[in-house]
Structure 1
Amino acid sequence: MTTTADNAPLLDRYNSYADGFGDVLATVPAEAWSSPSPCDGWTARDVVAHVVDTQRDFFAGHGVDLGPAPSLEDPASGWRTHREAVAARLADPSVADHAFDGHFGPTTIGETLLHFYGFDMIAHRWDIATAAGLDHRFTDDQLAEMEAAADGFGDALYSEGVCERVDVPAGADRQTALLARLGRRAA
């Protein structure tokens, strides 16, 4: 794996998102993987599959092969396999710095992975933990990052298949308000 000083911060950030996601997966009891998540029609395992599949599709769409899809029979193990494949590709500056015109304008594979898929790796932690009956609290930095991302997504956040607007409960704390903005009911 070749990493340059130029893309080391990007790789560090990806690893932070991926490791945080993996840490939540490691806490999920085996029997909870088939439990319904706050994502309508999805189990906890389905949420992991969504995160893995969307990243794989993104890379494939840019001609980057991540190798065979991991088995999600054990979602935590499958996630580790996936994140290692992604990190190996991101360590290559020719992959991370590959420029393209994205939905929100000119960007790179690395920046899109951080700003769009990084958001997913934070937000879906709560979905998986909730499906497993676990309490997951975002840090202030994670809340700020997701709020900024939601601002940047604008109305695209409410596109078909993304999320639906949910009223923010009166007196909601910051996390509950953000989750409502993301189409989730935390109460």
Structure 2
Amino acid sequence: MPDWTSARNPQGTRRNMNAIADRYRRHADAFEHKVAAAGADQWSNQSPCEDWTARDVVGHIIDMHGVMLRPLGRSLSPAPSLKDDPLGAFKSARADIQAVLDDPESAGTECDTPNGRMTVEQQIDQVISDDLVLHGWDLARATGQDDRMDPADVERMWSSTSALPKEVLEMLRTPEAFGPGVKVFGPEVSVPEDAPLQDRLLGLIGRDPR
């Protein structure tokens, strides 16, 4: 639902922008911590995404950072290679996105997306910011790290995802519906109704929490 208060109140708009930038920064910090903690011998480990290793998970996140820049006619800055320096590659990509979020003109640019017309910062918030949380779980599982998500993030994402219409969920489960090589959700995994909310969220997006 549009924030009509913010539309009438520039101060409210700035608060929303700051909230999105702060949320991205928090999610990127957590993901970067997991990348930094991965052992050099763990990058070829299988992740919960059947086609991806731990390194591939980081590669996907970096690629999606690049997708977020396209509405601005930009691409990712030159960076260390994913093969040689996954941490350096991610840090460079996150710096590019953070620069967009910290620039009101860039962040407020409107663009067309598969989910409708929105600002660049809104697309970043809905796509890559949440991706950092969900794929952080993948990376943690692949490298033997703590896979607990922030309960507030789980609550927020469960609320928004579980409320999506059936046809939207089906589209999200369709390979390449959002572009070549892009796979958003997998087939739903059955999880008991009394399971922890994190497990139910993971099952809904196609992960097996077990």
- 1:54: which partner in 2? 64
| Residue 104, structure 1, aligned to residue 115, structure 2 | yes
- 2:144: which partner in 1? 133
- Amino acid corresponding to residue 173 of structure 2 in structure 1: Y
Q: Deviations over 1:23-74 (max 9, x none)?
A: 2212211111110100111001101100110120231243123322542122
C-alpha separation in 2, matches of 1:8 and 1:174: 28
Look up the SS of the partner of 1:31 in the other structure: coil
Q: Residues 146 and 49 from structure 1, CA distance in 2 versus in 1: closer, same or farther, beyond 3 angstroms?
A: same
| Residue 145, structure 1, aligned to residue 160, structure 2 | no
- 1:166: which partner in 2? 189
- Count of aligned pairs: 184
Look up the SS of the partner of 1:46 in the other structure: helix
- Amino acid corresponding to residue 176 of structure 1 in structure 2: D
- Amino acid corresponding to residue 51 of structure 2 in structure 1: G
C-alpha separation in 1, matches of 2:131 and 2:53: 16
| Residue 119, structure 1, aligned to residue 130, structure 2 | yes
Look up the SS of the partner of 1:130 in the other structure: helix
Given the alignment, which residue of 201, 204, 207 partners 1:178? 201
Q: Residues 48 and 149 from structure 1, CA distance in 2 versus in 1: closer, same or farther, beyond 3 angstroms?
A: farther
Q: Among all aligned residue pairs of Structure 1 and Structure 2, give the percentage whose two residues are the same amino acid.
A: 33
Contact 1:47 1:124 in 2 (8 A): yes
Look up the SS of the partner of 1:59 in the other structure: helix
Moved over 6 A (4+): none
CA RMSD for the aligned pairs? 2.1
C-alpha separation in 1, matches of 2:162 and 2:203: 14
The structure that has the greater radius of gyration is 2
Question: What is the TM-score with the length of structure 1 in the denominator?
Answer: 0.88
- 1:80: which partner in 2? 91
Q: Residues 25 and 50 from structure 1, CA distance in 2 versus in 1: closer, same or farther, beyond 3 angstroms?
A: same
Q: Tell me which of the two structures has the higher relative contact order, counting C-alpha pairs closer than 8 angstroms and 6 or more residues apart.
A: 1
Q: Deviations over 1:66-119 (max 9, x none)?
A: 322542122122211211122122222121000123222221110110112111
- 1:14: which partner in 2? 24
Q: Deviations over 1:111-138 (max 9, x none)?
A: 1101121110100011001011223111
